Structure 1
Amino acid sequence: MRTGHAPLTGIVHLGPGAFFRAFNAVWTEEAMAAEGGDWGICAVSLRSPTARDQMMPQGGCYTAVELGPEGETRRVIGAVTEVLVAPEDPEAVVDRMADPDVKIVSLTITEKGYCHDPATGKLNREHPDIVHDLANPGAPRSALGLICAALEVRRGAGDPPFTVMSCDNLPSNGAVTRGVVLEYARLLMPELADWIAAEGAFPSTMVDRITPATTEADVTALARAEEYYDPAMVVHEPFRQWVIEEHFVSGRPAWDKVGAQMVANVEAHELMKLRCLNGTHSTLAYLGYLGGYETISETVADPAYAALCERLWADEIIPTLPQPEGEDLQAYSKALLARYRNPAIRHRTWQIAMDGSQKLPQRLLGTIRDRLEAGVVPEGLCLAVAAWMRYVGGVDEQGKAIDVRDPLAERLKAASDRGDTPEAKVAALLDLREVFDATLAADARFRAAVTAAYVSLVEKGAQATVAEAKA
């Protein structure tokens, strides 16, 4: 599949899944095309050989298929130079990362890959991989173990460290990564931790692109259209956003020349995404599911639901946001609605509705608290909370069971069942301290707005309630 010379390797990336292939590798290929540079990527799987077995027979190349409202756009991506499998040969991975030509080690390893306690951000010292790596530092299993082993080689050789860049959906992902790397390094070798703290760089990033799981039907359709078989292909939406803190030890690709936003701090962008995108996504998921819509695109095809989204952004969400550097919040919201309307991306309302007890505090309740403190009752977001309460009760508007996937599913159902009236059901669910803090739950304005919305959902149904909603 590769037609020219592969670029020299300047990046090692841990976690060569679909998101990396649809996002990091695409940006990097475009950056090299725009401004050159040896930024080829050595991709490293921390678990399975699947990515290696799919990609290396193709010279590391694969097809990225953009799913737009008007159809598909296909392109072959050649930024990946090799794929290694860490469990098969961890020393080879450490050697590659220790090569002074490698300037960046980036990560998409999911939250679990950081071996930390999400509540505190601290290293989980009892994690089996951390226990193993501290006992066997020459043959590490974890991303942290591999990173620190390679940094120790570079320190011993007098070479500068590489920049460590997390691209996972973790708040302040650079700070989290720096913290667990330093904590692990200090357990391993205090002088290594001191050197990393003094010389290293851990820029935070915000990433955004919907990348649905590739199906056999996708592979078959590509083979039919292009007359080649590509098991490593990925599909993705047209939209993408990459916000990166400008903090690198030894340079970076020209990502900014192809649309990435280089900023001093990403926190405002993270809050923007969390509240504008994730908050309305959850709102549409619960109200859409209850209204009988299977996907987000079907949900916002109903003008009342689209109008609710627009009112939420304008009146309830954007007023709570600090201005992100270089961002137009109104334009960002319009782009979100266009993404939601894309029928080629089948984002199921049931899927987005999963794990709501974990998501609501960050996605909705913080915004609600901020508006209440400003003296405004955010009735649209209170409707979203009421829709979640109706959903976790486990019965839809036709009396059919809802398959509620949530760590607290049984407790949520039990709390809802304890109430014999809508008011009692709301009160019982507000008593769950894992979701609602005591101050918010006791706020009479919040309780009244959520209760009124819940009553309307029971009496009129989701579609009629949304049509009447005023944010």
Structure 2
Amino acid sequence: MNNSIKLNQKNLVEIAHKIPCPTYDRSKLKTGIVHVGIGGFHRAHEAFYTDRLLEDGSITDWGICGIALLEFDTKIYNSLKEQDGLYTLIIKELDGSHTKRVIGSIVEYLYAPENPTTVIEKMASSEVKIITLTITEGGYNYSEATQSFDFTNPNIQYDLKHPEAPKTIFGYLTQAFKLRKERGLEGCTLQSCDNIQGNGHMAKRMLLSYVQKAEPELVSWIETHVAFPNSMVDRITPATSAADIENLKASSGIDDAWPVVCEPFKQWVIEDDFTAGRPAWETVGAQFVEDVVPYEKMKLSLLNAGHTVLGIIGALMGYDTIDESVHNPQISAFLKNYMDIEVTPTLGALEGVDLDGYKKSLLERFGNINIKDQIDRICSESSAKFPIFVLPTVNTNLEKKGSIAFASLVIAAWAMYSIGKDENGKALNIKDAMKSILNEKGLAASTGDPKAFLEIETVFGKLKDSPTFVAAFTKAYKNIAEKGIATCVVEQNNKALNN
């Protein structure tokens, strides 16, 4: 459509005749929140909740400054800059309809590689009360092998030598908190919105590990003046496709360089521990609790691990999207068995949670044919995801002598996935910071030594030393190599049915 309207502040009044737009005065908003990682999920989740809150009209202290931390984020930064921070959120309903709204809560946007000093100053600003993060599981620089901060990371070594122009979140936060301390300013809250159990605890532990080496005299100030609430976040947000952009133009006449698509379901559970005040997100659907850990564990072990199961198995079978994978009845049954037999016994008491209802809803959400979540997105950075989503269930079941057969099959499938081809010989688009080592160990496993894959200690820790797990993994690997993943999935389901 050639007469489409470019999304920006100047055109907002005209666009409001087509789809709902912010009714609040964005020019009056102060930046109370700095968010690092302004990708799709943040814009479908925290920025969405904040936009809903700002519609009250009387709230002006909680505008968001989005930080593009990495050079990889250049495109999203440029898109937001050209559109005055505005973007369209497209909710793909189960019935196939689309609910659209322009979101206006991001009022500033900074590109860290271009001007690190400006980013540090913004984080240190007295009007900023909260710094939130979606930096992915791998962004916390945690090593499963040492169960501690990874100081061997070249970017961390760079930050220690060049504190004034850092590359990592830890370098930026350290310099910002140092300025706050030197200027006698109050502290702030650092809130992780990433899929890590105890994400607030992880953020605190990793940051203090870095600060202890970079600015040791700052440790006590952070411990006293910075809060690290845990949170659980949930909303399936697939990558925006070219078709999504064109459909928005065709259906609504809006030219948006990077709209966000998501499912209707959303959830945000947060520990109510904030140093310098917070938005009343609970008035727009967030839930504040004393202890978020049970919710986190349930979500990571079921939803996030479920995504990984569907992604890895589906990839080997040649599927492209998650809904294709879950609509294979054998894969769907496999995932249900995995959740019921291996995950549920590890979760403990979940007061007020209908666990069976939650698991049923996950299968329905995964099967939303309108979302078309790409499998290569779900499988990206699996080296950071498996230790958080899948391996805790394995380790707990090893301790309790529970079943590990389903998880072992998935991990064996991942070893084969890491070679870079599906079972039909088609190349897989693997996106992983550890792609080279995964490929190397995956190839070694394929030459007759499956255990070689488990030697990636930063991923598997000491699992290679567990005879029970090694036996289950090796058996699963050899079965897949001999029979193919589809047959192994069926056989595993039949074993569960007969037990």
Assess same fold via TM > 0.5: yes
Question: How big is each residue's C-alpha offset from its partner over 1:5-51, in whole Å with a ceiling of 9 and x where there is no partner?
Answer: 11322111122222221222111112333695321112222345544
* Range that drifts further, 294-303 or 118-127: 118-127
Amino acid paired to 1:18: G
Question: How big is each residue's C-alpha offset from its partner over 1:55-80, in whole Å with a ceiling of 9 and x where there is no partner?
Answer: 24433221111123322211110111
- Indicate which of 60, 80, 83 corresponds to 1:55: 80
**Aligned match of 1:121:** 148
**Aligned match of 1:159:** 185
Maintained 8 Å contact 1:35/1:254: no
Between the aligned partners of 2:391 and 2:138, the Cα distance in structure 1 is: 25
* Range that drifts further, 451-460 or 13-22: 451-460
**Aligned match of 1:312:** 338
1:408 equivalent to 2:438? Answer yes
Unaligned runs of 5+ in 1: 419-424
Unaligned runs of 5+ in 2: 1-8, 14-23
Between the aligned partners of 1:394 and 1:232, the Cα distance in structure 2 is: 29
Between the aligned partners of 2:278 and 2:331, the Cα distance in structure 1 is: 42
Maintained 8 Å contact 1:431/1:441: no
Question: How big is each residue's C-alpha offset from its partner over 1:295-344, in whole Å with a ceiling of 9 and x where there is no partner?
Answer: 32122223333233323322321111133565432232122111110112
Maintained 8 Å contact 2:413/2:477: no
Between the aligned partners of 2:62 and 2:129, the Cα distance in structure 1 is: 9
Between the aligned partners of 2:485 and 2:151, the Cα distance in structure 1 is: 48
Maintained 8 Å contact 1:64/1:235: yes
* Range that drifts further, 201-210 or 167-176: 167-176
Question: How big is each residue's C-alpha offset from its partner over 1:411-437, in whole Å with a ceiling of 9 and x where there is no partner?
Answer: 32333332xxxxxx76x5687574472
Between the aligned partners of 1:24 and 1:459, the Cα distance in structure 2 is: 38
Maintained 8 Å contact 1:163/1:248: yes
Q: How does 1:8-407 map to 2 (within 5 A)?
A: 8-33=30-55, 37=59, 38-48=61-71, 49-69=74-94, 70-111=96-137, 113-114=139-140, 119-122=146-149, 124=151, 127-128=154-155, 131-132=158-159, 135-137=162-164, 140-187=166-213, 189-324=215-350, 327-349=353-375, 352-353=378-379, 359-360=385-386, 362-371=388-397, 373-385=399-411, 387-388=413-414, 400=425, 403=428, 405=430, 406=435, 407=437
Secondary structure of the corresponding residue to residue 268 of structure 2 = strand
Between the aligned partners of 1:444 and 1:143, the Cα distance in structure 2 is: 36
CA gap 1:226/1:316 in 2 versus in 1, 3 angstroms = same
Maintained 8 Å contact 1:14/1:45: yes
CA gap 1:169/1:376 in 2 versus in 1, 3 angstroms = closer
Between the aligned partners of 1:429 and 1:187, the Cα distance in structure 2 is: 34
Q: Once superposed, what is the RMSD of the aligned Cα atoms? A: 3.7
Secondary structure of the corresponding residue to residue 44 of structure 1 = strand
Using the aligned pairs only, state the percent identity: 34
Give the TM-score normalised by the residue count of structure 1. Answer: 0.82
CA gap 1:445/1:376 in 2 versus in 1, 3 angstroms = farther
Secondary structure of the corresponding residue to residue 238 of structure 1 = coil
Give the TM-score normalised by the residue count of structure 2. Answer: 0.78
Between the aligned partners of 2:306 and 2:212, the Cα distance in structure 1 is: 42
Maintained 8 Å contact 2:415/2:453: no
Secondary structure of the corresponding residue to residue 255 of structure 2 = coil
Secondary structure of the corresponding residue to residue 242 of structure 1 = strand
CA gap 1:275/1:112 in 2 versus in 1, 3 angstroms = closer
Question: How big is each residue's C-alpha offset from its partner over 1:188-208, in whole Å with a ceiling of 9 and x where there is no partner?
Answer: 554433222112212222323
Maintained 8 Å contact 1:114/1:180: yes
Maintained 8 Å contact 1:163/1:250: yes
CA gap 1:456/1:286 in 2 versus in 1, 3 angstroms = farther
Maintained 8 Å contact 2:133/2:192: yes
Following TM superposition, by how much is the alpha carbon of 1:403 offset from its aligned partner in structure 2, in angstroms? 4.0
